[in-house]
Amino acid sequence: MIPVLSVSEFISQINDIIAGEFIIEGEVSGFKTSNGKWIFFDLKDDSATLNCFSTIFTLRVPLEDGMKIRVYGYPKIHDKSGRFSLTVQKAELVGEGALKRAYELLKKKLESEGIFAVERKRPLPFLPQRIGVVASGESAAFGDFKRILNNRWGGVEIILRHVLVQGEQAVPDILQALAEFDACTAQTRPDVIVIIRGGGSIEDLAAFNSEEIVRAVYNSRIPVIAGIGHERDVSLVELAADVRASTPSNAAEIVVPDKRDFIAGLDFELEHMEQNLKHQVSKKKQNLDQYFYLISSKLELPIANGRMLVSRFVQSLSALGASLKNKKEAVLFGERLIKSSDPKHLLKKGYSITRNKAGVVIRRPDQVVSGEEIVVELEGGKIKGEVLEN
C-alpha cells in the first residue's frame, strides 16, 4: 500500500532522491540580481529550462543573457514555494564567444574602477637584484625567460613560484604565489614580480582574465610585469600590471638591460660627462678672464689716481720735512737770540739793572734826583742804595 505523505514529507523525500552535485551546460536567460546580493537566471537549451539561484559572492564570472555556461550545483525543491531550482556553486564560461563577452564585461567594469589607469603604474627597478617569477617551472616560456635573462645580465637571483597556468587550479595557485611574494620581508622580497606563460586559446588563458588575479596584481606591493601568450593576446592581468611585455621573452628583455648595451651606454655617458666637464671648465675660465678684465679696467683709473696721490703725498712729506727743518732752525736761532737778549743773561756778564722805588728801570740820570732810593739788581741778588748826587 502506498503511504500517505504530507507535502513537507514528500518534498523532503524528493530532495533526498535528487541530492548530489550536478554539472549542467546551457544558455543564460533572464539574468538578474536582487538587493546587490542574489542572482537569478534560467539555464536553457532547445527544449527545456532550469531555474538557477546563486549569490554575487559565489559567482565571480560576469554573466549576461545569451552566454553559454557550465554550472556546478545542487537541485532542490523549496519548501515554501514548492519551486524547483538549482543552487549554483560555480559557473564556467563555455565557448569562445562567451569568454570574449565575459572578458569585455569585466574589462569595462575594471576600467571604470581605475584598475588599468596609466597614472597609477609604477616604474620597474633599473637593475633588480632579486626577481620573483610566477610561471610553470616546466614550461618553455619559463625556460626562454631564464635563458634570455642570464644572457643579458647574469647574477640576478630568480625566485620561482611554480603554478598551474590553466585549468581549475590555476587561479588559486597564482593567487597563492602572489600572496607569498607580497608577504616576504624587506630582506627577502623580490624587487619585481614577473608573471609569464606561453600562448594558447582564450580558454587556455582564462586564468589571466580572472577578476581575482587582476585585483591581486593591482594590489601588489611589488611592481609587476606580465607577459602572457603571444603579442596579439592581451589579458586583463597584463592591463593591470605596471608593465606589459608582448611575450615571456620580451619580459626578460624589459626586466634587465643588456650588459653590452649598458657598458656601451656607460662609456658614452662617461665620455659625455668628460666633454661636458671640459666645456664647463673652459667656460668658467673664460668667465674668470672676463671678470678679471672688468675688474682691472674698473680699477685702472682709481689705481692711477691712487699712485698720483701717493706721489703727491710723498712730495708733500718731503716739502713738509724741509719746511720743518727750516722752522726748527729758525726756532733755534730765535731761542739763541732770545737768550742773548735776556736781561738776566746779561747779568751773568757783570751788567746790572737799576730801578727806582716804584720798580721803574732807570735808563738815564735825569730819571732820579739826589736822595732818591734805588735798587740795583745783580746776578746774585739786589742792592738798595741812595742817590748822593745827580
- Answer yes or no: do 87 and 136 share one domain: no
Q: Give the integer Cα–Cα distance in Å for 151 and 121.
A: 28
pTM over 0.75: no
Query: DSSP per residue over 10-69, as a string?
Result: HHHHHHHHH-S-EEEEEEEEEEEEETTTEEEEEEE-SS-EEEEEEETTT--S---TT-EE
Is 331 a member of any domain? no
Q: Do the Cβ atoms of 135 and 195 come closer than 8 Å?
A: yes
Asked which of 193, 225, 260 is the last residue of a domain, the reply is 260
- Answer yes or no: do 204 and 88 share one domain: no
Let me know how many helices (H) and strands (E) the chain has, helices first: 9, 13
Between the alpha carbon of residue 374 and those of residues 26, 352, 354, the distances in Å are 171, 12, 7
Q: Give the integer Cα–Cα distance in Å for 78 and 18.
A: 13
Structural domains counted in the chain = 3
- Answer yes or no: do 228 and 134 share one domain: yes
262 secondary structure, DSSP code: H
pLDDT tens by residue, the chain, 390 residues: 788 989 998 989 988 898 999 999 999 999 999 888 899 999 998 889 999 999 988 887 888 888 889 999 999 999 888 999 999 998 888 877 788 888 888 999 999 999 999 999 999 998 999 999 999 999 999 999 999 999 998 889 999 999 999 988 999 999 999 999 999 998 899 999 999 999 888 888 889 999 999 999 999 999 999 999 887 878 999 999 999 999 999 999 999 999 888 888 888 888 888 888 888 888 888 888 788 777 777 777 777 787 888 888 888 888 888 888 888 887 787 777 766 666 666 666 767 788 888 878 788 888 788 878 888 877 778 888 887 876
Asked which of 212, 241, 260 is the last residue of a domain, the reply is 260
Is 73 a member of any domain? yes
β 192-197/224-228 pair status? parallel
Domain that holds residue 56: 7-94
Between the alpha carbon of residue 297 and those of residues 29, 156, 302, 303, 304, the distances in Å are 96, 63, 10, 10, 11
Asked which of 205, 236, 260 is the last residue of a domain, the reply is 260
Q: Half-sphere exposure of residue 226, counting CA atoms within 13 Å on the CB side?
A: 26
User: What would the grid cell of residue 281 be?
Assistant: 671648465
User: What would the grid cell of residue 94 be?
Assistant: 563555455
